[in-house]
Structures are given as structure tokens and as C-alpha cells.
Amino acid sequence: MTSQAQDRQLLELIRQLFNEKIPFNRVLGLRIDSLDYDHPRVRFEMRPELVGNFVRGNLHGGVISAAIDVTGGLAAFLGVQKRLADEPLEAKLERFGQLGTIDLRIDYLRPGFGEWFEATGYVLRTGNKVAVTRIELHNNEDSLIAVGTGAYVVG
């Protein structure tokens, strides 16, 4: 199998795991929008179940935090994959099971109003054991709702 074919297979497996196998992602309605190695994007639709302030109808802060955390973890995982380019597919997928959040900081910038939301992750640094990411959450009008920085164990 060529390196490009293995890469496509890996990304499709990541998409399946993320979208279909992780129950919490399904509860929140999180779906991978882009698996770009440098800035993956996760998207979700606003639903009544995600409201935090029933008077105002805005997105719950816990949903914002969870979406940022999940996107940061995805960015960290993809950052590791760039470093493992020559490894077999099984070794690359094994790293998915080792991924975990070490630290997460969220800055809530404005209330979460919108029809849908998109979180974009950026890898700041990927080491052998830890990756650090920055994440931005925008709504459908491209308003910046929240930003986060996460540290993830990756190996």
C-alpha cells in the first residue's frame, strides 16, 4: 500500500471512530468537517438539548468546553500522525487509544448564539509524550465564541 493510500485509509478510520464510535460525540452531534493535519475542524448544529440559559437560549458552556476539548484532542492526534509518517497503520491507530487531556483552558468570549458552530484546532507543539493545541469556536456568522488551549498526552 502506498503512503498516500495508507494516509487516506487512516483519515477515513479516524472519521469513522470520531463520528460513529465515540458516544459522547454523538450526544453532542459533533462531526468532523475537515481532517486537515494542520487545522482540523469539528462542526455541530444548535439544538434545544444544548441550551444552557433557557431564558436567552444560548449554548451551554459545558458544550462549548467539550467541543473545544474534543477538537484539541483531534488536532493533537493528527499532529502526532505527521511525525509517524513511516509507521504502519496499526501503530498509528494505537496512538488514538492513548490520547487523553492533561490540561484545558477555555476563554468564553461571547454567548453561544448561532444555528451551528465550528471548532478549529491548531497544533502549537507536538512532542513524544505531550501535544499542545489552540482551539477556536466560531458560530455560523463567524463570530468568535470561545478559545481554548489544551495539553494532551499522545504517547
DSSP state of 79: H
Give the Å distances, CA to CA, from 152 to 9, 46, 127. Answer: 24, 27, 10
In angstroms, the CA 60 to CA 51 distance is 5
Reported as a pLDDT band with limits 50, 70 and 90, residue 1 is low
Residues 116/71, Cβ–Cβ less than 8 Å:
no
Which residue's entry shows cell 504517547?
A: 155
In angstroms, the CA 11 to CA 116 distance is 24
- Domain containing 129 equals 3-153
Indicate the average pLDDT of the chain.
91
For the chain, counts of helices (H) and of strands (E):
4, 8
Structural domain tally of the chain? 1
Lowest-confidence region among 14-28, 33-47, 83-97, 117-131? 83-97
Which residue's entry shows cell 484546532?
A: 121
Each residue's pLDDT tens digit, 79-102: 988 777 777 767 767 777 788 999
Residue 97 is predicted with a pLDDT of 75
Helix (H, G, I), strand (E, B) or coil at 99: coil
What is the CATH number for 91? 3.10.129.10
Lowest-confidence region among 84-93, 99-108, 126-135? 84-93
C-alpha cell belonging to residue 65: 468546553
**Model-level pTM?**
0.91
